[in-house]
Amino acid sequence: MDETAFFPVAWSGLKAPGYWDYLAQVLFAQYTGLENYDNFWDFIPTTGTQEDNGYTVYSDQGILEALNVIEELENTDYAVPGTSSMDHIGAQARVFTGSSLMVVSGDWVYKEMEKDFGQYLNDVVAIKTPVLSAVGVKLGLCGSEHAEVENQVMESCANCESALKSIVKDIDENTLTDAEIAAKHTGVSVDDVQIIRERRGYYLDQTGISVAIPSYSNAKDVAKKFLRFLYSTDGAKIYQQNTHDWLAVKEIEKADTSTLSEIDRLIYEIVLYRGV
Ligand SMILES: [Zn+2]
């Protein structure tokens, strides 16, 4: 192995291989759209009855496209050697200390890394999920015969890709209307731009953390009051300031982003992004 080689991707094979799922679900939804994504979980097929065809949700092309991207990122040319026996702190530490470029994680990562890597917290920022190249091909952004791409395992077209990059850049800069963005490209409709704008905003709102009050507790009322407080504007603010995590955002007041640190502002913008 070349000792000076840079491996951009870090991930934890030992403790958190499931983190890839956070990315896979978003890429899948980008490709197939929110309605099909929701229907996947309910086994609602695009044609036929749930009873007869429910299983066909597993053959959604978006699943394959998402897995293709992750397979590519896990390629040994990109992923750091030893990653399969690395824990999540070790994988994240590589990114925080600048030894790798990216890791898939969640907004809890800053709290998790604060104790041992606190001096690096501001060196790492959350980014919106990149838009799957296959979305550009699916929409036919090049407006003609797709260009051949050599050595490309994923569904791809160089012309669709350059149009997609330009459209995402314009959407992020947020100075042009969808019609103005569409007009810059032959073969791109306003509907295409709207679809990309919406999907640029997808992120996974993980609901795997639960709170329970034991039935035998002698402090059930206080516990209920505490939870009510936690989900109030004041409670959520205290929680956010101490964890970098935005609770039940729809229910709380909009934040004044000028008072937020850069890392908190970027997470807030992902959570509050309204693509449509
Ligand atoms: Zn194309």
pLDDT, tens digit, 9 for 90 and up, residues 44-70:
999 999 999 999 999 999 999 999 999
- Three-state SS at 80: coil
**Rounded distance from Cα 163 to ligand 1 centre (Å):** 9
DSSP letters spanning 217-260: -S-HHHHHHHHHHHTSHHHHHHHHHHHS---SGGGSPPP-GGGS
Residue 43 and residue 54 in contact, taking contact as beta carbons nearer than 8 Å: yes
**Rounded distance from Cα 231 to ligand 1 centre (Å):** 47
147: pLDDT confidence band, cut at 50, 70 and 90?
confident
| Radius of gyration from C-alpha coordinates of the chain | 21
pLDDT at position 18 over 80 = yes
Question: Tell me, what amino acid is at 85?
Answer: S
**Rounded distance from Cα 49 to ligand 1 centre (Å):** 34
**Rounded distance from Cα 137 to ligand 1 centre (Å):** 5
pLDDT, tens digit, 9 for 90 and up, residues 66-108:
999 999 999 989 999 999 899 999 999 999 999 999 999 998 9
Question: Tell me, what amino acid is at 242?
Answer: N
Ordered structural domains, the chain, with CATH: 7-123 (3.40.190.10), 133-200 (no CATH), 220-271 (no CATH)
> Which of 42-56, 132-146, 239-253 has the lowest average pLDDT?
239-253
Query: What value does the mean pLDDT of the chain take?
Result: 90
pLDDT at 215: 95
**Percent above pLDDT 70 for the chain:** 92
Q: What's the average model confidence in pLDDT over 19-42?
A: 96
Model pTM above 0.85: yes
Whole-angstrom distance between the N-terminal and C-terminal Cα of the chain? 47
**Rounded distance from Cα 129 to ligand 1 centre (Å):** 22
**Rounded distance from Cα 140 to ligand 1 centre (Å):** 5
pLDDT at position 276 over 50 = no
Q: What's the average model confidence in pLDDT over 177-198?
A: 96
What would the two tokens of residue 151 be? 């050595």
> Which of 72-86, 143-157, 168-182, 214-228 has the lowest average pLDDT?
143-157
Residue 230 and residue 246 in contact, taking contact as beta carbons nearer than 8 Å: no
pLDDT at 38: 95
pLDDT at position 275 over 60 = no
**Rounded distance from Cα 131 to ligand 1 centre (Å):** 15
